[in-house]
Structure 1
Amino acid sequence: MKVFKFPLLTITISFAIGIIAAYYVQWSFSTLIVSLLFCLGIFSFLFWKSKKALLQNPFFGITTYLLALILGMMSFYIHSDLNSKHHYTKTSFEDSNSIRAIVTTTLKPNEKYHKYFISLSHFNDSIASGKLLLYVPKSNIEILNSGDEIWLNSTIYPVPKAFNPYQFDYSKYLEKQNVFHQIYTQENQIKIVQRHKTIDYYIENLRNNLSKSFEIHQFDSKTKAIIDALILGQRLELDKETIADYSNAGVIHILAISGLHISIIYFFIVFLLKPLKRIRFGAEIQLLIVLAILWLFALLTGLPASVTRAVTLFSFISIGNYFNQPKAIYNALAISAFLILLVKPNAIFDIGFQLSYAAVLSIVLFQPFYKKFYFSENKIAVYFTDTILVSLAAQIGVLPLSLYYFNQLPLLFLLANLVIIPLSSLVLIAGIVILPLNYVLPTVAVFLGKILE
């Protein structure tokens, strides 16, 4: 297969298999060290020997993949919060536990509670680490924000496991994010000790202000929620009906900023900056501007996993294009996935991570066959043919995962993508253009906002 001509891809796959193996096998640190040193020794010997040989020793390749697998297991062990000596689970729980922590992430609320991830600093007067899921009543006077240092006394509960077959197991989902327990608080039970103005605080503040700038348009709540999801990556206000409608049509990915949105922004920026290539150092300036805008956008959305992997991927594609290597997409895929897994090994268990890479890999694999289906050289006809073929290729790639996780296959995905992708592209670009106009030329922004709505 063409894929195996790219060793970076197969090494990354071996690294990912190592992470999955570590999750289920759970070797001790000493066992991992011994295994790593053993593999490293064999790898070094075969590498030295291969430099003197005319033909590549197949055992060198096998050892390389085995070493990548062990490194994957080691990475998972190091990043597992449970292996920290200060993890809160290593102390005894009481009926009411003294907890001091910092709010790190604001989650989508439910009908009664606001939800947050908090990172512990002290647990029952001892230095502690670890993450907890915090539920705060919506009737609470103060709304928590990223960077808030809080103190409370509360009972800690394990996240309940799913009992029905094929039911989504929220406890497993949280476990793979190093969250094992939850706290339900009462009204005004939490004391805010200090507001740390961390980068998360400033980003959340900026994002909220940008979202509020759309209030001059007086959009209805559903439209405003969709704009926040498409442009700022915030799905907190999306109602269940909207999510269900998009999900049933097979286009739920439109509401979560991912590869599709980043690709639209990427090609839009490249198109705008095309004249730069005519000047000296124009290609370098274009590359730097593209990378800067992509990563600023990622920061603005709060660096969710879907945006981080998409921006990382397109960053390597940009660099590849700069070095006149536009076809090295497999290496770009491999490096982006490897870096994400190196920093956050648990990302391999994220459904979004699996779906996005499966979709992109499938699109790339089927790309050589696209031209065989062109029935016209007309640009509009080619565009719609490409849209259908790319949607079909992506759906083939994610089909096994969709059936495994969701037990369903949306039958409207081709028709829906044919309509939704062009419209979402226009909405995203128009929204980005309108955003600065909300501050500079509000009258023009409102006029464009009517068209956008």
Structure 2
Amino acid sequence: MTSGISKKERTHRPLLWVTLCFGGGIFLGAYVPVPFWAAYGSAAVCVIFSFVSFHKTRGFLVFIFISFILLGVIHFRMYKTLPAGHISRIAKFYYGAPVLLEGVVVSDVEQRRRGNTRKTTFRLEVKRLKGKKEWQKSRGEVLVNLFRGENILYGDYLAIEGKLHKPFNFSSDSKFSYRDYLDRKGIKYILSVKKQGRVEVLEGNHGNPFHRYVIRFKHRLSVILATHFTGAEKGIMEGFLLGDRYNIPQHINELFQMAGVVHILAISGFNVGIVAYATFLFLKMFPLGRRGHYILTILILIAYAVLTGAQPPVARATIMAAVFLAGFILEREPESVNTLACAALFILFVNPVNLFDVGFQLSFVSVLAIIVFYPKCVSVLSKLDDKAAERGKTIGAVMSVLKYIGQSFILSFCAYGGVAVMVAYYFELVTPVAILANLVVIPLSSLIVVLGLGVLLTGLVLPTATFLFADCIRVLLALMVKTVFWCVQIPGAYFRVPGTPLLVVILYYAALCVFLYFSRWKADTAIDKCNRVC
């Protein structure tokens, strides 16, 4: 079997090439000073030439792909161009001086506590501001850090006084920047408000009504979790189910990071998959018809993505699940790589800066590695299991168990191998034990998520029965943390690799691409050898 990308694959995977070109254009727009007029003019010319060469397949594809590269450049430049009156354009005139802002709270309000210190954090969509002179109209968002507890809700129209400043970079490491992190969310300035600073709620119930309802519902779910879990347990469950990681203790984060399974603590495609499966099974109890079950599952997944903040991994998994289920509704089988590319293209269209987000990169690369490598590796085990089943029930049962373990190991290996060099580059950490840890942690976390959904559901409709799920979760949480701790104690479980060059990352993925293009998978020969051993 040829593992390179054939002409057929190019035909059935158009979104893969479109997304690669569009993403490449975003990259060029960020680092190459291409004039705006040149990008527009060149894109128009390429589109015209693509129509002219429509009957010449190679020429048509070349011009189309160049057009999408230029569209990526244009889209990135337009996204980064701020309109007149934007807070980021005029904040420099008020930098470090007291300023009074009026605006609407457009995010969930986080109440954080560190020792005796309380901090209220939220995003404010600015409507106007006032320094020493008259009011001035403005637009755009700022992050508000209010250093006291305050009863503020999503949609409140506030008058708030503080000092504007740019986000601080807490580390000299150029790979991670808090300023860049906020910039990807469209925030360039922070408003710091002292304990005695003025905060006045002028009106309420502004903002999106649907978003307001989702946030209130999320708060209700958070109260249910707080009723049955405390401390680290509560923080982990909020991370698993609601996407809020700020209550997870630092030592737990570090422990899971050293074991290479820190992704388990964040809401991700893994959680979305479990929610999708559990939702579909639950809906099958109702006589809604096959299409009704699929449509409702898609709507619930979209609502869940909004509830948890729609971070790139969640958005990716939600879009892929929606496309997959839509394929069943339309009675068409979706293509995995094309579906993944569709998710990436949508996320980059909404926010092209996500291309430079570490979570976006790790999420898509790991899934792509599983899609590309896993079927090729596991095909040997599948055929070997069929041969062993012919020799008797005992051997067949043993081989089925070994097959399951082998599939899990290969899945973990493919996912880790796809992102290992990126983890080394960004986190300066290599975690070989992640392949082993995932074999235990993923099944445990799957059970925890399913039982956690049970806690939330019973907490809403039958609170007295919630303890049945909560007690089991506590045992599984303790077992999961203990397992991670034991894995980290294994010699060579992890090691630091400071200063991994970017060239190593490029060469690694270039080698994988060359391997995919030129390799020939001789599965039949491998199966024959395994049969002789058996």
Q: Distance in 2 between matches of 1:216 and 1:157?
A: 38
CA contact (8 A) 1:388 1:418 kept: yes
What is the CA distance between 1:166 and its match in structure 2?
Answer: 5.2
What is the CA distance between 1:184 and its match in structure 2?
Answer: 1.6
What is the CA distance between 1:448 and its match in structure 2?
Answer: 2.4
Matches within 5 A, 1:162-177: 164-165=172-173, 168-177=176-185
Q: Distance in 2 between matches of 1:428 and 1:382?
A: 25
Matches within 5 A, 1:88-237: 88-91=87-90, 93-94=93-94, 95-105=97-107, 106=109, 109=112, 111=114, 112=117, 113-124=119-130, 125-137=135-147, 140-161=148-169, 164-165=172-173, 168-189=176-197, 190-197=199-206, 198=208, 199-217=210-228, 219-237=229-247
What is the CA distance between 1:239 and its match in structure 2?
Answer: 1.6
Q: Give the length in aligned residue pairs.
A: 439
Is 1:358 equivalent to 2:365 in the alignment? yes
CA offset digits 1:69-98 (Å, max 9, x no partner): 111122222322x43122123335122233
Q: Distance in 2 between matches of 1:32 and 1:123?
A: 36
Matches within 5 A, 1:16-31: 16-31=23-38
CA contact (8 A) 1:229 1:235 kept: yes
Residues 162 and 429 of structure 1: CA distance in aligned 2, closer, same or farther (over 3 Å): closer
CA contact (8 A) 2:158 2:203 kept: yes
CA contact (8 A) 1:250 1:412 kept: yes
Q: Distance in 2 between matches of 1:110 and 1:45?
A: 63
Q: Alpha carbon RMSD of aligned pairs, Å?
A: 2.5
Larger deviation, residues 185-194 vs 11-20? 185-194
Please tell me whether Structure 1 or Structure 2 has the larger radius of gyration of its CA atoms.
Answer: 2
What is the CA distance between 1:223 and its match in structure 2?
Answer: 0.9
Q: Distance in 1 between matches of 2:405 and 2:203?
A: 54
TM-score by length of 2: 0.76
Matches within 5 A, 1:258-297: 258-272=268-282, 282-297=289-304
What is the CA distance between 1:351 and its match in structure 2?
Answer: 1.1
CA contact (8 A) 2:104 2:158 kept: yes
Q: Distance in 1 between matches of 2:343 and 2:404?
A: 28
Partner of residue 43, structure 1: 50
Q: Percent identity?
A: 24
Residues 421 and 435 of structure 1: CA distance in aligned 2, closer, same or farther (over 3 Å): same
What is the CA distance between 1:327 and its match in structure 2?
Answer: 5.5
Q: Distance in 2 between matches of 1:406 and 1:216?
A: 35
Q: Distance in 2 between matches of 1:68 and 1:107?
A: 40
Is 1:307 equivalent to 2:319 in the alignment? no
Matched residue SS, 1:115: strand
Question: Which of 397, 410, 421 matches 2:431?
Answer: 410
Q: Distance in 2 between matches of 1:14 and 1:291?
A: 29
Larger deviation, residues 417-426 vs 227-236? 227-236
Q: Distance in 2 between matches of 1:159 and 1:430?
A: 39
CA offset digits 1:213-250 (Å, max 9, x no partner): 23443x23211111111112222311211211211111
Partner of residue 325, structure 2: 318
Q: Distance in 2 between matches of 1:275 and 1:152?
A: 50
TM-score by length of 1: 0.89
Q: Distance in 2 between matches of 1:298 and 1:353?
A: 15
CA contact (8 A) 2:454 2:469 kept: no
Letter in 2 for 1:205: R
Letter in 2 for 1:64: I
Letter in 2 for 1:122: R
Matched residue SS, 2:142: strand
Q: Distance in 1 between matches of 2:314 and 2:472?
A: 27
Q: Distance in 2 between matches of 1:240 and 1:336?
A: 32
Partner of residue 439, structure 1: 460
CA contact (8 A) 2:104 2:124 kept: yes
> Could you list the runs of 5+ residues in structure 2 that have no partner in the other structure?
386-395, 475-534
Matched residue SS, 1:296: helix
> Could you list the runs of 5+ residues in structure 1 that have no partner in the other structure?
51-55
Is 1:421 equivalent to 2:442 in the alignment? yes
Partner of residue 53, structure 1: none
Larger deviation, residues 9-18 vs 293-302? 293-302
Matched residue SS, 2:168: coil
Q: Distance in 2 between matches of 1:386 and 1:116?
A: 44
